[in-house]
Amino acid sequence: MNFSEHWLSRRAALTPNRIAIHTAETSLTFAELLKETTAIAEKLSSLSLDPAKPVALMIRNSLDGVFLIHALQQLAIPALMVNHRLSAAEWKFQLQDSHTQLLIVDDVFDEKVNSLKNELSVYTIGAVEQLNNTFVNSSLYDAADREVCSIMYTSGTTGRPKAVAQTYANHFFSAMGSALNLGMDVEDTWLCAVPLFHISGYSILMRSVIYGNSIRLYEQFDEEKIHDDIEYGRATMISVVTTMLLRLLAVRNGKPYHKSFRCMLLGGGPAAPHIIEECFEAGIPVFQTYGMTETASQFATLSPEDSRRKIGSAGKPLFTSEISIVNTYGDRCKANEVGEITVKGPNVTPGYLNHPEANETSFKEGWFYTGDIGYLDDEGFLFVLDRRSDLIISGGENIYPAEIEAVLTKHPAILEAGVVGKDDPSWGQVPVAFIVLEKGFSFNSDDYNAFCKESMAGYKVPKVFYVIDKLPRNASNKLLRRELKKRVMNE
């Protein structure tokens, strides 16, 4: 499959008058969205950008952000989606590692990126709007399906962040797989309160353009307003993480949701059984899902009719996706046998950019090795037991222990560190650290805290530091995080 036309242009040609996007202030049809997008693409054209190098976006969930995303697609330039909650050290690494040619930031982030302006071309959205318009020859558009559309960084077992390339085909098949499972209706409106810089949010934009459905865009999660939208039929689907679902449940008024509301898509790790039970009692159609940046969002999804019978499961793979559980010998596991979750399908990334060694480890014979542990039961339902390398999911954000440990051991007082997740009523989990002190140093929690904040996003900074004499390790000196996890649970 090759697309020789920009998706938004195609959509605007097919259904120009349907509403593409609602925000708190306004609504735009697909024709209007294309017009705004083209204006931005024309301004960016004046910069003579290189289509082979990414343009990074550090944006909030705003209309301007949406225009930029579509404009980069119109120019067939990959968009590096930067998490603005990251520390300067973190996003600087991403910009460098990805060979970003230009950074565009929301005006509010202008100061934040000041230090970078000597090294890289940086524009605020306001500055982009001041550029001259240059004609975009859309007949030259040529984003083959294998071309990179978006880039998002993720850390794996090593803790070193890697750029995940998401192609146009990845996004297309992700949207198709989702539709084949959830159905597709002209009247659907997908509420987007998850960040556009995460695959959960970005994929909502893509589905909107492919399906011809509306989005209701939120700058941030606001349970009161979102509850109203759902209650009054202004949203038929929403993507949430457990934290958001809990906040929505907390503001319920006993009335059922609007009958048109048909999907609460719950990602970011399995939800506690009592939450599923509560949703069931309230008639809320919760679809639990398993997916990751590398699979361009959902890969397996559990339908509400199976939610209670298969509590803890992430459902079955989507139609075009395959899941295989592999044991330590590399053999395919039988039903109910635990092993590493490997996945295959047209929505799986072709690989990490500029990381051949990671690709070699992660891809074998067309299968992507997720590093996650789980099993398929005898009906083919997936159960995820452990996210890769003790991944910590906190309020929908992925936190990789190895990444935090690497920072901590740079502190002069810290010899070794082990980081694990601790259950938390509002965030699902929060990171906590076990540290072994260098000789002659005494414990100073505030110091470690400040040290961390310099080089990582706030949500990654360990909430508690525990001093221990020695980290638990196995014979080959591998850190046994599950032992640390036991201690946390015994607290």
For binding to a second copy (CB under 8 A), which residues are involved? 1-5, 10-11, 13-14, 169, 173, 176, 179-180, 183-186, 210-212, 316, 319-320, 322, 344, 346, 366, 380
Q: How far is the CB of 368 from a second copy (least distance, A)?
A: 14
Nearer to a second copy, 3 or 280 (CB): 3
d(CA 173, CA 29): 24
Q: How many CB atoms lie within 10 A of CB 479?
A: 21
Least Cα distance to 153 among 194, 105, 208, 96 occurs for 96
Q: How far is the CB of 17 from a second copy (least distance, A)?
A: 10
132: its two tokens: 């001259």
Nearer to a second copy, 4 or 354 (CB): 4
Q: How far is the CB of 237 from a second copy (least distance, A)?
A: 14
Positive or negative: CA dihedral 121, 124, 130, 133? positive
Q: Residue 432 forms beta bridges with which residues?
A: 420
Q: Whose structure tokens read 């639990």?
A: 288
Nearer to a second copy, 316 or 460 (CB): 316
Q: How far is the CB of 2 from a second copy (least distance, A)?
A: 8
d(CA 431, CA 464): 8
Residues 14, 7: contact at Cβ < 8 Å? no
Q: How far is the CB of 11 from a second copy (least distance, A)?
A: 8
Indicate the DSSP class of residue 144.
B
Nearer to a second copy, 72 or 169 (CB): 169
Nearer to a second copy, 82 or 343 (CB): 343
d(CA 389, CA 158): 9
Nearer to a second copy, 5 or 416 (CB): 5
d(CA 75, CA 67): 12
Q: How far is the CB of 310 from a second copy (least distance, A)?
A: 14
Sequential DSSP letters for 317-382 = E-TT-EEEEE-TTSPBPPTT--EEEEEESTTS-S-EET-HHHHHHHEETTEEEEEEEEEE-TT--E
Nearer to a second copy, 374 or 401 (CB): 374
Q: How far is the CB of 33 from a second copy (least distance, A)?
A: 16
